[in-house]
Structure 1
Amino acid sequence: MRADKVGERDSHHSDDHSGDHSGERDSLAQVLGGWDASVDAALPPVAFVAGWLLTGNSVGWGVAAALAVGVLVAAFRWSRGARPRAVLLGMLGVAVAAVVVLRTGRAADFFLVQLATNAASGLAWIVSIVVRRPLLGIVVGAALRQRGRWRHDADLLRAYGLASWVWVGQYAVRVSVFGALYAADEVLALAAARAALTWPLVAACVAVSAWVLRRSLPAGHPGFRRPRVEAS
């Protein structure tokens, strides 16, 4: 498999930090689970704005369109073997946004939940770095079933902390853009930003954080798949 080859290359050539990093980037993307969730998350907001526009700015029809698309996406992912928890969380986000906008009657409020969750996520990542439990390490370590061994590798712990700041930056960009557009009540622009700042931004974040992670590890380190527990 490609990921295995990446690991072998790291163990033999990890002293060359100026080489091709595409394998490490792709490996991290595979560990983090791909882009399906990012694409799926952008569809209900776009459907909401389309329904809102086509029915003369009716938030009720916009909500109906968003919920319908959300259900279709959830059913499709479920049929493709997605985890029930991930499917339900996706639907929960759409449902909460629907409740908020139906109560306020303001179309821009459909994006309020997204703004709040991005702000909370950014804060959570900052806290995790400060307490030396960087979330990037927790997510990757859990996916690789490392049982927290990465935390006993001082070099890997430091690298995860530095790479996690890239993810903080991702949330900061979203909060800044969404916040400005929400304050200006720019519904169409919010939908466009919601689409633009999902898959493309996540892809860039994975690529940059993989680069930072690799560059932060010292020469001779076998890579994030192989924590050097004995070093502690």
Structure 2
Amino acid sequence: MQITSPQETATAVQTADRKKSALDQAGGVKGVVYSALPALVFVVANSAGGLKVGILAALLVACGIAVQRLMRRESIQPALGGVFGVAIAAGVSWYTGSAKDFFLIGIWASLAGAVAFVLSVALRWPLAGLIWNSTTGKGTVWRADKRSRIYYDVATLVLAALFGARFAVQQYLYQADEVGSLGFAKIAMGYPLLAVGLLAVAWAVRASDNRLKAVGLLPTEQT
């Protein structure tokens, strides 16, 4: 029978707390659903009643989600971010008078993300490694090993490809003035693609940590 030391137990608890905190900040499963509702409601309401009705409906849904979370004493950070994002998108669409412009900022944000990820690899500071190791307090030790850096290069390029694909598809639909398809693409290429990117990052983290432990740049776990 394997005996777990107090230190290992404490580490496991801390890890579980960090995972729970990250899930709470992301809004959990509800957050994934809630994030898709304003865009879906906008498309349906715009089709049924026009641009102004679509904008108003999307804003009301975003605000309603925030109020519901507040009343249930849940994390409202994702909801507030959603209200802010919907408000900006609605403002742009209202100003231009075009329903498709509701998605304009998100489209160009995807392009900016793709460029940033590719540029970070070219500068030998892949964002996947930089962001992960900064938030977990591991610093920049991973950059001292070329192979470890390559792992994060791969993960970063996967993220760049996902953001690039999101831009390419949605920009094509934007040019074709396909508002309904834009709404579907925004939802389908949102969290599902992000999940793929996170899997790539998780692979890079595990591969990098194993490599760094093998070369003595990270301490091995106590047995």
Summarize the alignment of residues 114-125 of structure 1 with structure 2, pairs less than 5 Å apart: 114-125=106-117
1:210 and 2:163 aligned: no
| Aligned residue in 1 for 2:217 | 228
Structure 1 residue 214, shift from structure 2 partner: 4.7
Change (3 A) 1:32 1:138: farther
Tell me which moved more, 154-163 or 124-133: 154-163
Look up the SS of the partner of 1:133 in the other structure.
coil
- TM-score, structure 1 length as denominator? 0.71
Matches within 5 A, 1:76-225: 76=68, 79-83=73-77, 87-211=79-203, 214=206, 217=208, 221-222=212-213
1:20 corresponds in structure 2 to none
Whose relative contact order is higher, 1 or 2, with alpha carbons under 8 Å and at least 6 apart? 1
Q: Could you tell me whether the CA contact under 8 Å between 2:133 and 2:140 is conserved in 1?
A: yes
Structure in which a larger fraction of residues adopt helix: 2
2:60 aligned to which of 48, 59, 68? 68
Q: TM-score, normalised by structure 2?
A: 0.74
3-state DSSP class of the match of 1:168?
helix
SS at match of 2:124: coil
Question: Which residue matches 1:14?
Answer: none
Q: CA 1:92–1:82 in 2, change beyond 3 Å: closer, same or farther?
A: closer
Larger displacement relative to structure 2 (133-142 or 94-103) = 133-142
Partner AA of 1:96 in structure 2: I
Unmatched 5+ residue regions in structure 2? 1-7, 9-15
Structure number with larger C-alpha Rg? 2
Cα pair 1:129 1:164 within 8 Å, conserved: yes
